[in-house]
C-alpha cells in the first residue's frame, strides 16, 4: 500500500488480524487510527515518508513488532507506550522534528467542577462504596478515569490532562522524547493536584535494552 497517495486509514483496519508485514510508506497519511494497535501479529510496520505528527498510544499493544519505520514525518514526540515493545530492535526516526530539549509550556486545560468532584470520589472511596453513594448516571463516568502515570501519584483524570514530554535513553546513546499524560502539571515538579502521594512508593518505567535494540536511526 506504499506510494498510493493515501491520506488516512479506515478504523476497521484491525480486521486484518493475520497481517504481519504492513508497508504504508510514501503516502500522505496525517494520522493513524487507534485500531492499528490491534494488529497484534505485526512484526514489520513502515509509516515512513508520510505527514504523521503523532502516534496512537495503542502502539504499545504491538508486542511482536520488530521493525518500526517512522522516518521523514513530522513527529515531535512519541507515546510513552513505545518503550514497552520488548521485541522492537529496529526503530527509524530520522528526519523528524523531534523535541530535543525540555519543554516548559506543558499543555493543560483546567478540569471542570464535575471532574474535580469525580477525582476526589475516585481517589477517596472504593468502587463498591462510591457506586452506592452516587447516582447511576455517573457510574460510567467514574469508571472512565485514567490513572496518572507519575509513579508517586495516585491521582486520576478524566477529560482534563497535562501533556508532558519526558526524555528516555535508547541504547544508552539516544534520548527520545516521550509524551506522557498526567493528572496535573504539578505532577512534574511537586505534589500532584487532587491526589494522594507516597514518597516510599517507587516504580521504574521499562527501559529499552541496549543489548536488544540493534538500530535506532535519528539522523
DSSP state of 8: -
The three cell numbers of residue 127 are: 468502587
- Residue 87 sits in the same domain as residue 107: no
What pLDDT shows up at residue 9? 94
Residue 112 lies in a domain: yes
Tell which wins on pLDDT, 218 or 99. 99
Comparing 175 with 76, which gets the higher pLDDT? Answer: 76
Residues 170-198 have a mean pLDDT of: 61
Q: 101 falls in which pLDDT band (50, 70, 90)? A: low
In this structure, the answer to whether residues 60 and 124 fall within a common structural domain is no
Same domain, 70 and 40: yes
Kindly report the CATH number assigned to the domain that includes residue 44. Answer: 3.80.10.10
Collapsing DSSP to helix, strand or coil, 36 comes out as helix
- Phi and psi dihedrals of 80, rounded to 5? -60, -25
Collapsing DSSP to helix, strand or coil, 137 comes out as helix
Over residues 137-141, mean pLDDT: 86
Q: Are residues 92 and 143 in the same domain?
A: no
Does residue 218 lie in a domain region?
no
Q: Which residues contact 18 (CB under 8 A, 6 or more apart)?
A: 41
The percentage of residues in the chain with a pLDDT greater than 70, rounded to a whole number, is 78
- Which of 218, 181, 184 has the alpha carbon at shortest distance from 96? 218
Considering the domain architecture, whether residues 94 and 23 belong to the same structural domain is answered as yes
Neighbour count for residue 172 (Cβ, 10 Å): 11
DSSP 98-127: ---S-----EEPPPPHHHHHHHHHHHHS-H
With CA atoms as reference, report the closest residue to 16 among 47, 33, 48, 41: 41
Q: Which of residues 44, 71, 98 is at a domain's end?
A: 98
**Residue 116 sits in the same domain as residue 180:** yes
> What would the pLDDT profile of 192-216 be if each residue is shown by its tens digit?
433 333 333 334 445 544 444 445 5
Q: Which domain holds residue 132?
A: 102-201
Q: 41 and 118 share a domain? A: no
**Number of domains observed in the structure of the chain:** 2
Residue 207 lies in a domain: no
- Is the confidence at residue 121, as pLDDT, over 80? yes
DSSP code of residue 170: E
Inside any domain, residue 219:
no
- Ranges of beta strands (E only) in 41-138 are 44-46, 67-69, 78-79, 90-92, 107-108
pTM of the model: 0.66
One domain, residues 30 and 57: yes
In a domain, 216, yes or no: no
Do 87 and 11 belong together in one domain? yes
Last residue of a domain, one of 67, 98, 129: 98
pLDDT in tens, 34-43: 999 999 999 9
- Name every residue whose Cβ is closer than 8 Å to that of residue 191 and which is 6 or more positions away in sequence: 197
What is d(CA 216, CA 68) in angstroms, rounded to the nearest whole number? 10
Amino acid at each position: 500500500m506504499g506510494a498510493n497517495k493515501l491520506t488516512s486509514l479506515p478504523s476497521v483496519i484491525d480486521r486484518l488480524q493475520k497481517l504481519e508485514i504492513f508497508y504504508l510508506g510514501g503516502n500522505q497519511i496525517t494520522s493513524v487510527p487507534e485500531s492499528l494497535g490491534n494488529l497484534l501479529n505485526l512484526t514489520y510496520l513502515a509509516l515512513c515518508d508520510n505527514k504523521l505528527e503523532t502516534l496512537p498510544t495503542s502502539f504499545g499493544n504491538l508486542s511482536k513488532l520488530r521493525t518500526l519505520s517512522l522516518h521523514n514525518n513530522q513527529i515531535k514526540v512519541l507515546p510513552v507506550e513505545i518503550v514497552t515493545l520488548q521485541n522492537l530492535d529496529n526503530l527509524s526516526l530520522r528526519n523528524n522534528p523531534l523535541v530535543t530539549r525540555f519543554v516548559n509550556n506543558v499543555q493543560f486545560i483546567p478540569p471542570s467542577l464535575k471532574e474535580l468532584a469525580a477525582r476526589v470520589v475516585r481517589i477517596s472511596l472504593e468502587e463498591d462504596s462510591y457506586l452506592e453513594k452516587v447516582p447511576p448516571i455517573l457510574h460510567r463516568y467514574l469508571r472512565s478515569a485514567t490513572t496518572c502515570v507519575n509513579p508517586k501519584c495516585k491521582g486520576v483524570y478524566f477529560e482534563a490532562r497535562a501533556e508532558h514530554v519526558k526524555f528516555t535513553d535508547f541504547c544508552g546513546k539516544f534520548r527520545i522524547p516521550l509524551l506522557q499524560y498526567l493528572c496535573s502539571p504539578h505532577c512534574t515538579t511537586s505534589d500532584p493536584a487532587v491526589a494522594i502521594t507516597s514518597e516510599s512508593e517507587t516504580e521504574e518505567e521499562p527501559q529499552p535494552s541496549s543489548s536488544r535494540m540493534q538500530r535506532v536511526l535519528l539522523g
